[in-house]
Amino acid sequence: MNEKLFRKDENHRTPGWYLKGNDIEMFLTEQGGQHAPVTFFAGTDEPIQPYYLTPWQDKRPDLSSIPLLQNLRGDFFCLPFGGNAEAYQGEQHQCHGETAAMNWTMTKAEEEADGKCVFEFALDTKIRPAHVVKHIEMRKGHAALYIRHTVTGMSGKMPYGHHAIMQMPEAGEKMYFSAGKFDFGMTPTSTFSDPANWEYQYMASGVEFTSLESIPTIFKNPATYDFSVYPSPVGYTDLFSLFKKPSATPAWCAAAYTDRGYLFFSLKNAAELPATTLWIANSGRYEFPWDGVSRCFAVEETCSYFADGLKPSVEENALTRKGWKTCGEFSPDKPFSVRIIQGVARIPSGYRKTASAEFLDGKVVFTDEAGLKAEAAVDWKYLAD
């Protein structure tokens, strides 16, 4: 391993690894393999840090009953994705699975001949045995993370996904979210934020929608709300899912932080990750450790039944009845890989909601509704290899 590319240390009292390659610096937690902070354009006058860290990190409260929350930050891989409140065939998984909470081991840190920096980490799950390898690439001239998780030795059905948590814009700022054209949109069929648990939601449950600009609410006035513009209403925590069919180019979404001069983008293969599940928390949860102070926006690229977990995802549900896949089928004889690209692009002054993404040779060009453009060097064909 090339020890110039990493060092073992702590970040906000959390053990893990500092990784560095090609103008990207990131911290990956040992427990849960959660990455944040991540600095794109490191060493420049205008670095970008898009990911969110929960406010209790330095306090280190006892969260041993929900290990996922101990280091909750940035992005991480979930297997099985979701709350997993119900047992399934004798399996009782923790929230978002062992991959989001147990210890990873570094197995590779190398700079290849083309300047690409490659890091790998491994974890063996116990509840349903499997070997999982986390592969991260940082490429020269690319403000993007190329991520692949490969699962071997697992049998049966299971939901999975990524859980990238971004920063909610501050009061007085604006963030514009877009996923372009999507094929189906729906909120969870059950209550997502239950007042009995000191949680509150703004969206109506179990409703379908065709536009982010008009999602039904629980109120008479407003009956609908524009969830393409943020910050969202204060005091509520919500979730909804968008679905896209596979196509010749990646499925994409973009969160443009106009006042901060950048957009965050996520690219995926919709055959692997058909859902983009948005978790929106502008306060809204008042139990420990949330305490009403968490303000974040998560772009969760998944193959799951909302965030309900293993049992609802592998059984027939409201989404499978619509023809959408909500879990993967794993075989011990065949490796199962999930790929994603997460990155940032600088945007011109006045750039707002992204209307389109054009995939050209070695790059993607985002265009907003007024015709302003933002370009990112990206090897998007990585998602189809």
Extract the tokens encoding 117. Answer: 């920096």
pLDDT value of position 381 = 97
| Ranges in the chain, pLDDT < 70 | 385
Which pLDDT belongs to residue 64?
87
Nearest to 354 by CA among 144, 185, 176: 176
3-state secondary structure (DSSP) of residue 313: helix
Residue 305 in tokens: 């039944």
How is the beta sheet containing 14-21 ordered, strand by strand? Answer: 6-11, 14-21, 24-29, 35-40
Task: Give yes or no for a contact between 151 and 124, defined as CB atoms under 8 angstroms apart.
Answer: no
What is the full DSSP assignment across 263-298?
EEEEEE-TTT--EEEEEEEES-B-STTTTT--EEEE
List residues bridging with 307 in a β-sheet: none
Q: Walk me through the domains of the chain, giving residue ranges and CATH numbers.
A: 6-352 (2.70.98.10)
| pLDDT of amino acid 103 | 98
Which residues, in sequence order, are CB contacts of 114 under 8 Å at separation 6+? 140
State which amino acid sits at residue 37. P
- Give the per-residue pLDDT at 65: 86
Quote the distance between the C-alpha of residue 51 and its chain's center. Answer: 10
Entry pTM: 0.97
- The token pair at 234 is 């204060």
Query: Taking CA 255 as the corner, what is the angle to CA 251 and CA 261, rounded to the nearest 5 degrees?
Result: 130
Among 338, 312, 340, which Cα is nearest to 326's?
312
H runs (alpha helix) in 157-308: none
CA–CA gap between residue 299 and residue 256 (Å, rounded): 13
How many whole angstroms separate alpha carbon 309 and alpha carbon 319? Answer: 14
- CB atoms inside a 10 Å sphere around CB 12: 18
Query: Phi-psi bin for 55: left (phi > 0), alpha (psi -120 to 50), beta?
Result: alpha
List phi, psi (to 5°) of 229.
Answer: -125, 135
Reduced to 3 states (helix: H, G, I; strand: E, B; else coil), residue 171 is coil
**Residues 133, 338: Cα–Cα separation, whole Å:** 11
**Cα–Cα distances in Å, from 47 out to 36, 211, 243, 363?**
14, 33, 32, 20
Question: Which pLDDT score, from 0 to 100, does residue 338 have?
Answer: 99
The predicted structure's pLDDT at residue 54: 97
**CA angle, 226 as apex, 72 and 356 as ends, to 5°?**
85
Residue 124's contacts (CB-CB under 8 Å, 6 or more residues apart) are: 130, 131, 132
What is d(CA 100, CA 160) in angstroms, rounded to the nearest whole number? 11
